[in-house]
Amino acid sequence: MFSAFYRKFLVFSLMLIFITPLCYGQKVAVVLSGGGSKGAAHAGVLKALEENNIQIDYIIGTSIGAFVGALYASGYSPEEIENFFISTDLKRWSSGESNPKFNYFFKMDEPDPSWVNFDFNFKTPLTKILPTSLVPTTEMDFTLMSLFAEASAASNQNFDSLFIPFRCIAADIDSDEALTLSNGDLGAAVRASITFPLFFKPIKIDDRLLFDGGMYNNFPHDVAMDVFKPDLIIGSNVSKNYPSPDPDDVVSQLQKMLMTDADFNLSKESGIIIQPKVSRPNLTDFSLSQEFIQLGYDETIRRMPEIKERIKDFRKDGETNELRNKFKANFQPLFIDSISNAGLTKNESAYFKKQLFHEYNTITLAEVETGYYNIATDGYFKVGMPLLKPNATRQKYTLDLGLKRSDRFNVKFGGNLSSRLANVGFVELNYKHLSSQGFKLKTNVFVGRFHSSVLLGFKLESPSKPPFYLDANLVYNHFDFFKSTIHFFEDITPSYLISNENYVRVTAGAPTNIKGKFEANITLGSMDNNYYQSNMFTRLDTADKTTFNFSKAAVRWELNTLNRKQYANAGARFLLEATLINGKENFYSGSLTYERSDLKDIKHKWVSVGMKWENYFTKPRKLKFGFYSEVSLTTQRFFSNYTSSLLMAPAFFKVPESQTIFLPNYRAFSYGVGGLITIFTIAKNFDFRFENYIFQPYRQIFSDKNYKSFFGEKFKNRYLMSSAVLVYNSKLTPISISLNYFDNPEEKFFFSFNIGYLIFNKRALY
pLDDT, tens only, 275-314: 999 887 667 778 889 999 999 999 999 999 999 999 888 8
What percent of the chain stands above pLDDT 70? 91
Alpha-carbon gap, residue 745 to 203, rounded angstroms:
61
What is the rounded distance in angstroms from the CA atom of residue 174 to the CA atom of residue 197? 14
Q: What is the pLDDT of residue 370?
A: 80
Q: How many angstroms separate the Cα of 39 from the Cα of each of 97, 194, 196, 256? A: 20, 11, 14, 21
User: Is residue 589 domain-shared with residue 602, that is, in the same domain?
Assistant: yes
User: How deeply is 254 buried, as exposed, middle or buried, from its count of CB atoms within 10 A (0-12, 13-18, 19+)?
Assistant: middle
Closest CA to 171 of 74, 241, 93, 260: 260
What is the CA angle 131-340-63, rounded to 5? 50
Is the pLDDT at 487 greater than 60? The verdict is no
Q: Tell me: do 76 and 149 sit in the same domain.
A: yes
pLDDT at 26 exceeding the cut of 80: yes
Structural contact between residues 590 and 757, judged by C-beta atoms closer than 8 angstroms: no
Residue 626 and residue 490 share a domain? yes
Query: In terms of C-beta density within 10 A (0-12 exposed, 13-18 middle, 19 or more buried), how is residue 766 classed?
Result: middle
Q: At which of 355, 372, 405 does a domain end?
A: 405
State residue 333's pLDDT score: 84
Helices (H), 109-166: 126-129, 138-154
Q: Are 322 and 350 part of one and the same domain?
A: no
pLDDT level of residue 592 (50, 70, 90 thresholds): confident
Terminal alpha carbon distance of the chain: 112
Q: What is the pLDDT of residues 59-79, one digit of tens each?
A: 999 999 999 999 999 999 999
> Would you state the pLDDT for residue 133?
74
Q: How confident is the model at residue 475 (pLDDT cuts 50, 70, 90)?
A: very high
374: domain CATH number? 3.10.20
Does residue 763 fall inside a structural domain?
no
- Does 658 fall in a domain? yes
> Looking at the predicted structure, is the pLDDT value of residue 598 above 70?
yes
Mean predicted lDDT score pLDDT of the chain = 88
DSSP H or E stretch at residue 373:
helix 365-377
User: What pLDDT is recorded for position 510?
Assistant: 96
When mean pLDDT is compared across 116-120, 345-349, 423-427, 574-578, the lowest value belongs to 345-349
pLDDT value of residue 281: 64
Same structural domain for residues 710 and 723? yes
Instruction: Supply the pLDDT for residue 761.
Output: 97
Name which of 20-29, 396-405, 418-427, 606-615 the model is least confident about.
20-29
Q: Which amino acid, one-letter code, is at 262?
A: A
Report the pLDDT averaged over residues 183-202: 93
The last residue of a domain, from among 298, 314, 329 = 329
571 and 613 share one domain: yes
Give the domain CATH number at 255: 3.40.1090.10
| pLDDT over 70 (residue 334) | yes
* Predicted local confidence at residue 17, as pLDDT: 44
| Residues 339, 294 share a domain | no
Pick from 3-12, 98-107, 560-569, 609-618: least confident: 3-12
Please determine, for residue 130, whether its predicted confidence score (pLDDT) is greater than 60: yes
Strands 424-434 and 438-448: antiparallel
* Confidence band for 241, pLDDT divided at 50, 70 and 90: confident
Among 234-243, 651-660, 670-679, the least confident range? 234-243
449 with 303, same domain: the answer is: no
Domain region containing 601: 409-756
Determine the pLDDT at residue 359.
58
Residue 692 has pLDDT above 80, yes or no: yes
Determine the Cα–Cα distance for residues 138 and 372; give it in Å rounded to an integer.
Answer: 9
User: Which amino acid, 264?
Assistant: F
pLDDT of 650 reads 97
Query: Which of 296, 329, 362 is the last residue before a domain boundary?
Result: 329
Residue 638, H or E segment: none
Extract the runs of DSSP E, i.e. beta strands, from 662-706. Answer: 671-683, 686-697, 701-703
| Complete DSSP assignment for 754-765 | EEE----SPPS-
- Tens digit of pLDDT for each residue in 501-510? 999 999 999 9
- Whether 766 maps to a domain, the answer reads no
Lowest pLDDT segment from 21-25, 291-295, 584-588, 756-760: 21-25
79 domain-assigned: yes
| Predicted TM-score (pTM) above 0.85 | no
Is 520:507 a contact under the CB 8 Å cutoff?
yes
- The whole-number average pLDDT for the span 156-185 is 94
List CB contacts of 35: < 8 A, sequence separation 6 or more: 63, 64, 65, 214, 218, 237, 238, 239, 278
pLDDT above 50 (res 614) = yes
Q: Which of the listed ranges 396-400, 559-563, 669-673 does the model predict with the highest average pLDDT?
A: 669-673
Residue 379 vs residue 298, higher pLDDT: 298
Rounded average pLDDT over 718-731: 96
pLDDT of residue 346 exceeding 70, the answer is yes
Question: Are 598 and 549 within one domain?
Answer: yes
pLDDT at residue 695 is higher than 90: yes
Domain-located, residue 105: no
Pick from 495, 438, 413: nearest CA to 756: 413
Structure confidence at residue 22 (pLDDT): 43
> Does 118 fall in a domain?
no
Least confident of 98-107, 233-242, 312-321, 712-721: 98-107
pLDDT (0 to 100) of residue 127: 63
Structural domain contains residue 494: yes
240 and 375 part of one domain: no
Residue 712 sits in a domain of what CATH number?
A: 2.40.160.50
Q: Please, are residues 320 and 53 in contact by the beta-carbon 8 Å criterion?
A: yes
* β-bridge mates for residue 573, sequence order: 560, 614
Q: What is the pLDDT confidence band of residue 24, given thresholds at 50, 70 and 90? A: low
Same domain, 451 and 415: yes
Question: Of the given ranges (268-272, 524-528, 533-537), which has the lowest mean pLDDT?
Answer: 533-537
The size of the chain, in residues, is: 766
The DSSP bridge pattern shows strands 516-531 and 497-513 to be antiparallel
Is 13 domain-assigned? no
| 313 & 343 share domain | no
Domain count, the chain: 3
DSSP class of 747: -
- Mean per-residue pLDDT, 569-589: 96
pLDDT at position 251 is 57
Burial class (CB in 10 A: 0-12, 13-18, 19+), 741: middle
